[in-house]
């Protein structure tokens, strides 16, 4: 399939119609969807209408924008006016938001055409898409394996060439980890660089929206399209989005790269040897391109996972309180009191992992344990930020594996803690609010793709794109 940039350039110059591009995408979805289940909803008629409007604009001599006619998919936790937005949860099954998320408006404004909403772990809690209430997504490279998660549907849709561009959300790794497991590029931007208005909240201090693509250049144009200040999101950074396309041609000459020792067989255990070997090769490739590569220790990152599993559930327990059958959520009328109705609604509406998070978070925030758990986790978060800031005085970017392992079989990580360990390399960037990108870098066990992670400081997207472009060429 063509890349997003190829489609947009052909559509803008009139060599390809948006209608043809969208028809191709819909045909690919129809052929593969029974096997893969990447989508919760496909909006074929609406997509074809929008594509015709793009074609009319081109015919009338106007430019529909940098993503003209590009078929796109959105994780089903982003609000789309009049189109179901379920978070892959029974509690929101059938809910149609009355408004569009900012990202939806920005993408439409750039000429992109939404073809559907993708499957996820319920409320974005998970690393395999097995927690979806509507059945799992399968990895297009091997349908007996998970695509990763929680944005597994978005990753699979791009890996299977159903669309060249999709979007996910990343709270602890949910864009980068599925990108790694499916062999696509996945970017988690700086916290506040992309508006969260209309993204259904999981853990508000960690959530960020970002793209999945087959090329680094497509991720760059996608980020430039969706980024920038939004007054409707109070955590949005009041600055223009950094230009990252410029950085793609810079090469790695003089780039200072720190390889995170803890994630390379140091203090953190459980990495597949092939994953570590590919990450070392990626470091060598950057050095060969002129980068100064050194190991660096970020000691507090080993506590990232523990801190995350207090902070994220704490915020989730608060954010998910709104699904009470009154304000939001499919009501189950039962018993004689409002409390009975709320208990029945939440018992029937939420799956096991969501309930686990709500209980963990409520406990961590409870009066007697607040200081011991939530308060301590926040202090660890500050230590992690300090460690990163010290590292970025010496380095432009940092390097690590994205996931400790390649794609794994369904049911292989049935114990929650085993599943949580998948995000050990991705979580620290969320806690710090920093950007990071996963780039496919050759293959590991069973010839499955390995993702290498490039991390950068606050608004350091240009540097991570610079390194990512070099890795893409070397791979
Ligand atoms: N897998 C992690 C979790 O379950 C991260 C999820 C995410 O980034 N949305 O919380």
Q: Please work out whether the CB of residue 173 comes within 6 Å of at least one atom of ligand 1.
A: yes
CB-ligand 1 contact for 429 (6 Å cutoff): no
152 Cα: distance to centroid of ligand 1 (angstroms): 11
173 has pLDDT over 90: yes
**Claim: this prediction has a pTM higher than 0.85:** yes
Residues annotated as part of the active site: 75, 150, 174
pLDDT digits (tens, 9 = 90+) for 243-280: 999 999 999 999 999 999 999 988 888 999 999 999 99
**Mean pLDDT of the 237-247 span:** 95
Distance (Å) from CA 122 to ligand 1 centroid: 10
Q: Report the pLDDT averaged over residues 378-398.
A: 98
User: What are the structural domains of the chain?
Assistant: 4-247 (3.90.1300.10), 254-305+373-464 (3.90.1300.10)
Angstrom distance (rounded) from CA 174 to CA 126 = 8
Q: Are 208 and 154 in contact (CB under 8 A)?
A: no
User: What is the distance in A from the centroid of ligand 1 to the CA of 420?
Assistant: 8
Q: What is residue 265's predicted lDDT score, i.e. its pLDDT?
A: 87
- Cα–Cα distance between 145 and 189 in angstroms, integer? 27
- Name the pLDDT band for 444 (thresholds 50, 70, 90): very high
Following CA atoms 136, 174, 463, 454 in sequence, which dihedral angle do they give, to the nearest 10 degrees? Answer: -80
Residue 136 has pLDDT above 90, yes or no: yes
**Is 175's C-beta closer than 6 angstroms to any atom of ligand 1?**
no
Q: How confident is the model at residue 335 (pLDDT cuts 50, 70, 90)?
A: confident
Residue 154 vs residues 21, 49, 122, 182, 408: alpha-carbon distances, Å:
18, 23, 14, 10, 18
Q: Identify the CA nearest to 450 among candidates 404, 412, 413.
A: 404
Task: Select from 119, 126, 314 the residue to mutate for testing ligand 1; criterion: most ligand atoms less than 8 Å from CB.
Answer: 126
127 lines ligand 1 (CB under 6 A): yes
Q: What angle do CA 272, 435, 151 make, to 5 degrees?
A: 65
């Amino acid at each position: 399939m063509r890349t997003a940039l190829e489609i947009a350039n052909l559509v803008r110059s009139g060599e390809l119609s948006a209608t043809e591009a969208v028809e191709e995408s819909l045909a690919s979805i129809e052929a593969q969807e029974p096997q893969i289940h990447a989508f919760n909803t496909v909006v074929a008629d609406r997509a074809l209408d929008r594509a015709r409007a793009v074609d009319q604009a081109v015919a009338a001599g106007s430019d529909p924008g940098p993503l003209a006619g590009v078929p796109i998919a959105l994780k089903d936790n982003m609000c789309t006016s009049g189109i179901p937005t379920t978070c892959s949860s029974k509690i929101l099954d059938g809910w149609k938001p009355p408004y569009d998320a900012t990202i939806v408006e920005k993408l439409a404004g750039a000429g992109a055409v939404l073809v559907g909403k993708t499957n996820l772990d319920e409320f974005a809690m998970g690393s395999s898409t097995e927690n979806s209430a509507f059945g799992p997504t399968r990895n297009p490279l091997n349908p007996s394996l998970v695509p990763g998660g929680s944005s597994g549907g978005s990753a699979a849709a791009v890996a299977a060439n159903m669309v060249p561009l999709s979007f996910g959300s990343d709270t602890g790794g949910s864009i980068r980890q599925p990108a790694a497991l499916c062999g696509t590029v996945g970017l988690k931007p700086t916290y506040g660089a992309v508006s969260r208005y209309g993204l259904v909240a999981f853990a508000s201090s960690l959530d960020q929206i970002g793209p999945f693509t087959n090329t680094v250049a497509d991720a760059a144009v996608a980020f430039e399209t969706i980024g920038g200040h939004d007054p409707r999101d109070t955590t949005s950074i009041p600055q223009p989005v950094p230009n990252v396309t410029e950085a793609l041609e810079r090469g790695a000459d003089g780039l200072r790269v720190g390889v995170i020792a803890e994630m390379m067989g140091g203090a953190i255990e459980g990495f597949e040897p092939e994953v570590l070997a590919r990450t070392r090769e990626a470091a060598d490739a950057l050095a060969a391109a002129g980068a100064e590569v050194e190991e660096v220790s970020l000691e507090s990152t080993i506590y990232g996972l523990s801190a995350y599993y207090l902070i994220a559930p704490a915020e989730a327990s608060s954010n998910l309180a709104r699904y009470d059958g009154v304000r939001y959520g499919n009501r189950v009328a039962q018993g004689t009191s409002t409390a009975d109705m709320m208990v029945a609604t939440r018992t029937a509406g939420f799956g096991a992992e969501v309930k686990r998070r709500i209980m963990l978070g409520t406990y961590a925030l409870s009066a007697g344990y607040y200081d011991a758990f939530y308060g301590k986790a926040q202090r660890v978060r500050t230590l992690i930020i300090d460690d990163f800031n010290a590292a970025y005085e010496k380095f432009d970017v940092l390097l690590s594996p994205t996931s400790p392992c390649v794609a794994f079989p369904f049911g292989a990580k049935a114990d929650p803690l085993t599943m949580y360990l998948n995000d050990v390399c991705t979580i620290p960037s969320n806690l710090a609010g920093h950007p990071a990108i996963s780039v496919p870098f050759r293959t590991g066990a069973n010839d499955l793709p390995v993702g290498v992670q490039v991390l950068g400081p606050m608004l350091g997207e240009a540097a991570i794109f610079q390194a990512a472009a070099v890795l893409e060429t070397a791979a």
